[in-house]
Amino acid sequence: MNEIAQLFLELIANLTRFEVLRQFIALGLAFGFWLAVKRQLSLERRHWIGERSWAFLKRLKPLANVLLLWLCLAVATAWLITTTGVGDLARFVVRFYALCMLTRIGLIILQLYLPAKVVQREDVQFIRPLLVVIGAVQLYAQFADLNELFTIEVISLGREGLSLGSLSLLTLGTYFIIVGSVLPARALAALLRRIFTLSAPAYRASALLARYVLTTIGLLVILANVGVNYALLAAIGGGLSVGLGFGLKEVFANFISGLWLLLEGSVRPGDVLLIDSIANGEDPCEVLELGMRATTLWRDRDNVELVVPNQTFFTQSMVTYSGSRDRHRRGQVVIGVAYRHSPQLVINLLEATASTIPRVLASPAPKSLLLSFDNSAIIYGIRYWIDDPMDGIGIASEVGIAIWNTFEREGIEIPFPQQVWHQASTHQQA
């Protein structure tokens, strides 16, 4: 660690050199000029020529001041290099700033094709940390020898030590591979969807599988670069086996279950499942994400996200509305009608009423049945098909309201429960 401190002191000493300070002063002056000019120009609020014709220009507007700053810095650097012949440090700052700016433009373009939430997550989790790391490493490389820094031994493991470079690769490399594999995996899955005309759930499943594959390849490349000690790896593997037998068993079981479910295709992102069903089974959830340990489900009735361990789907039976055939689902409304009305009339009315609901499928046609003779009423059921299993409850409500309106109009009675009481005689009482 002392060596790292020495290198850092050297970095500070270099920063105080006259020629270096001159470059930073030039950049500082350019920055000051930008602060003064940007208020005068108000580029972000001003109307741009062609703004109405090209919507893309409007999206770029928030970057106007960033672009202006880059221009100021670039001009200052060019002037410095022309007059003094020394300015590559300032040029590095300008180039790095341009890189940051290009990533912003790239993200704006990405937003045209991907959901804003995905792009924002990529920005926060991948792009910004990557820029910080690249900037820090490249800035150091301007002042000192990067190889020297990376070859410093930070961890001693017997005869072989772990250098700072290897440690950085292991930690930062692993992080960036895990978070950075999202977009390439999506692109790969999109290509597969185009070639094999995959359904939406199959597309999402292949994106996840592609991410696992890319991450695994990346991690193997990192281990090969670090020069992994196979004896050490075997020892870690042995320790992990014991760990799996005890504490990590559940984690591992969930991970394998997740992989199996993906390969089998029984649970895929986009599927609709009935899980933790309430009494009438009307509690569908949509699979949002099949993670390494757990699956995230979305329940529309109360807009909650349920995190269910993958193993649950592996060991329990479940109802899915998005299997291999289609996503159609049958709904039913049960209603009691007074005994005095003709069953055939009621059945005709129920079928006609259900057919008027827009979200009820015309084919197969709604079907009404007499289900039972109850104490106070004859019980009928109207059964119909819907396209989206997530809409079951809403459509049932619409059908129920329509039936009530029809019965009201046609004078059909929905009876209250009735009970006949008989009073006992006096003789019997004695």
Partner 1 sequence: MTSGPHLSILVGLSFSLSACGFLGVNKLPRLGNSINVVLELPSDADQVEQSNLKNLLGREVQEFKRLNPQLQVRFRTISSDRLQQELRFRKSRGLAPDLVLLLNSRPLLSLYQGGLATPVSLSQEERRHVPSWLLKSLEHRGHQLGLPLLMKPTLACFHRSHLKQAPRTLSDLLGVARAGSSIGLHANLTSLDWMFSGFGVAPFPSQGQHLKQQGPLNPALQWLYRANLEPFITFVSTDEELRRGLAEKRFVWIPCSSGWIPTLRQSLGADLGIAILPAGPAGPARPLVAVQTWMFGPQSSPTQRRLAKQFAFFTLNPIRQRMMGLQQGTGFPVNPAVTLPLKAYPVLSVMATSLGTSTSPNPAQYQFLSINAEKISSLTNQLLAGTKPPQLIVPDLQHLLDTMPRGESQHE
Binding-site ranges for partner 1 (CB under 8 A): 5, 8-10, 12-14, 16-20, 22-23, 62-63, 65-66, 85-89, 92, 96-97, 100-101, 103-104, 107-108, 123, 127-128, 131-132, 135-136, 139, 142-145, 148
Q: How far is CA 236 from the centre of its chain?
A: 32
DSSP 295-308: EEEEETTTTEEEEE
**Looking at beta carbons only, is 101 or 306 nearer to partner 1?**
101
In the complex, least distance from residue 139 CB atom to partner 1, rounded to whole angstroms: 7
Cis geometry, peptide bond prior to residue 343 (ω within 30 degrees of 0): no
Q: How far is the CB of 16 from partner 1 (least distance, A)?
A: 5
Q: What DSSP letter does each residue of 103-135 carry, written as one string?
A: HHHHHHHHHHHS-HHHHHHHIIIIIHHHHHHHH
* Between 103 and 168, CB nearer to partner 1: 103
Residue 136 CB, shortest distance to partner 1, in Å, is 7
Helix (H, G, I), strand (E, B) or coil at 337: strand
Rg (CA), the chain: 34
Nearer to partner 1, 101 or 361 (CB): 101
Q: How many CB atoms are closer than 10 A to CB 165? A: 17
CA angle 305, 309, 312 (to 5 degrees): 110
Minimum distance from CB of 49 to partner 1 (Å)?
22
Question: Which helix (H) or strand (E) element contains residue 394?
Answer: helix 392-410
148 or 408: whose CB is closer to partner 1?
Answer: 148
Q: Which is nearest to 399 in space by CA: 347, 345, 359, 341?
A: 359
> CA-based diameter of the chain, in Å?
128
Nearest distance in Å: CB 270, partner 1: 29
**Closer residue to partner 1 in complex, CB, 12/362:** 12
Provide, rounded to whole angstroms, the least separation between the CB of residue 90 and partner 1.
9
Choose between 42 and 356: whose C-beta lies nearer to partner 1.
Answer: 42
- Min CB(117)–partner 1 separation in Å: 14
Per-residue CA distances from 19 to 9, 30, 73, 96 (Å) = 18, 17, 17, 20
Which CB atom, from 136 or from 304, has the smaller least distance to partner 1? 136
